[in-house]
Structure 1
């Protein structure tokens, strides 16, 4: 896959179109009800800087939680937003999160800050920033999962670490483009040789034994993910 094919594939995802459309709508709201320059800049900068921390926390403590599948009302959501992605990282139809979970999260992580700084205009600017930042993150996520070989050293590093998260040890490298918080909290690893191979990298700890007690995800998935995807998924 070359860069042009990557870009074409990226814009075929409905989530990307939704993020761009909502960001354009938010920018329109800002134009109609603008906030002062300094509050707007503050809202934008804080949203950009806060985004990696929010993603790290959600990825580590929610998406990789071992409590969501125990709650009947949340089991299907957990399966869709991350279990399916890990049991088959090459299942590109679910590469992006479900909009009914991502959009409220982006809004709550950005809009209140913008509102506090600049009212409606500040909230619109912050929300648009969160949406566009998400688009940038998801483009890098496409690079990491699609058959594209990046040449820039930083993109190469990102892809290597994210693939290690998916195929070696899921308890580290929670960042997508930013690994500062991984380094700060001790969950970063640059080489697979630094860690022992995880036995739950494809099922996130939802093992056959666990499924006997909390069967909802297994019932929805037709079983529990065990072994490498290439050995159990027909292509």
Structure 2
């Protein structure tokens, strides 16, 4: 992609390749992306609902803190045991869901369209996690606050997730470290570093690793175990894709002993 963002891609919905974008282009794409605009609108609606059914400042603040604390654990459990699990692709009726919400992202980690979760799956999940927390704390007003907090955190996650796949080296050292750990998840071993903005839960559950020397490279890092053999047994994802699963995304192939370009950007 050239130094100037191709505005036609915003109108036509053509995919953005984060590996070819700079930070300015990312901001434009992010702030005009329909899913993110929907999230922004829902945050505004949540604030309005929280004000209308106001639960008091104490319950409101407690619900915000509770969601902030619970969210990383919920994301970790979903990412590790559902998105990286093998149950969804083994059933025909959930194979398309698994393909959309995670397999496509690992097959092509730089594609913005599949990096963002689909609202049809993200919003019910956010609601299931946050609404009960808020309601138990302070009724519907706190529930609205908790949901709005969950959507806000999702927006933050999505932006930093984009940064982690962007052709850009962040200036801040803590973002560099965050990006490097996530790049390892996509290009070295997918069975670790499941966090997005924090890897504290990874440390607690023993799935954190610092660099490529810490563990051998996984042969399933790009296909999540859905290789050609699995595809022949459970063909539904392959049928939807129109081709066999790849063991490397386009542009990831590197000479022996070398690091893919995507990983070097995060070093």
- Whether the aligned pair in 2 keeps the contact of 1:70 and 1:214 (CA below 8 Å) is yes
State the Cα distance separating 1:2 from its structure 2 match. 5.0
**Structure 1 residue 148, shift from structure 2 partner:** 2.4
Does residue 32 of structure 2 align to residue 12 of structure 1? Answer: yes
1-structure distance, mates of 2:23, 2:87: 39
Matches within 5 A, 1:28-177: 28-177=48-197
Q: Say which of 189, 194, 211 aligns to 2:231.
A: 211
SS of match in other structure, 1:151? coil
Please report how far the alpha carbon of residue 3 of structure 1 lies from its aligned counterpart in structure 2 after TM superposition: 4.0
Conserved? CA contact 1:106–1:127, under 8 Å: yes
Aligned counterpart in structure 1 of residue 216 of structure 2, from 179, 196, 203: 196
Please report the RMSD computed on the Cα atoms of aligned residues, expressed in angstroms.
1.5
* Per-residue deviation, 1:162: 0.7
- Which residue of the other structure, out of 201, 221, 224, is the alignment partner of 1:181? 201
TM-score, normalised by the number of residues in structure 1: 0.95
Stretches of structure 2 lacking an aligned partner (at least 5 in a row) = 1-20, 254-267
Task: Rate the CA distance shift 1:232–1:171 in 2: closer, same or farther, 3 A.
Answer: closer
TM-score (norm 2): 0.84
Q: Check conservation: 1:81, 1:97, Cα contact below 8 A.
A: yes
C-alpha displacement of 1:232: 9.1
Contact preservation (8 Å) 2:164, 2:183:
yes
Q: Which runs of 5+ in 1 are unaligned?
A: none
1:143-192 deviations in whole A, cap 9, x for unaligned?
01122221111110111111110111000000000101101111001101
* Higher alpha-carbon deviation: 202-211 or 146-155: 146-155
Give the length in aligned residue pairs: 233
- Contact 2:76 2:194 survives alignment (8 Å): yes
Native 8 Å contact 1:69 1:214 kept in 2: yes
Paired with 2:210 and 2:184, the residues of 1 have a C-alpha distance of 9
Q: Where do 4+ consecutive residues of structure 1 move more than 6 Å?
A: none
Decide whether the 8 Å contact of 1:206 with 1:224 is kept in 2.
no
**Deviation string, structure 1 residues 176-213 (Cα, Å, up to 9, x no partner):** 00101101111001101111111111110001111111
SS at match of 1:230: coil
Q: Is the 8 A contact 2:227 2:247 kept in 1?
A: no
Instruction: Decide whether aligned partners of structure 1 residues 134 and 226 sit closer, same or farther in structure 2, where only a CA change above 3 A counts.
Output: same
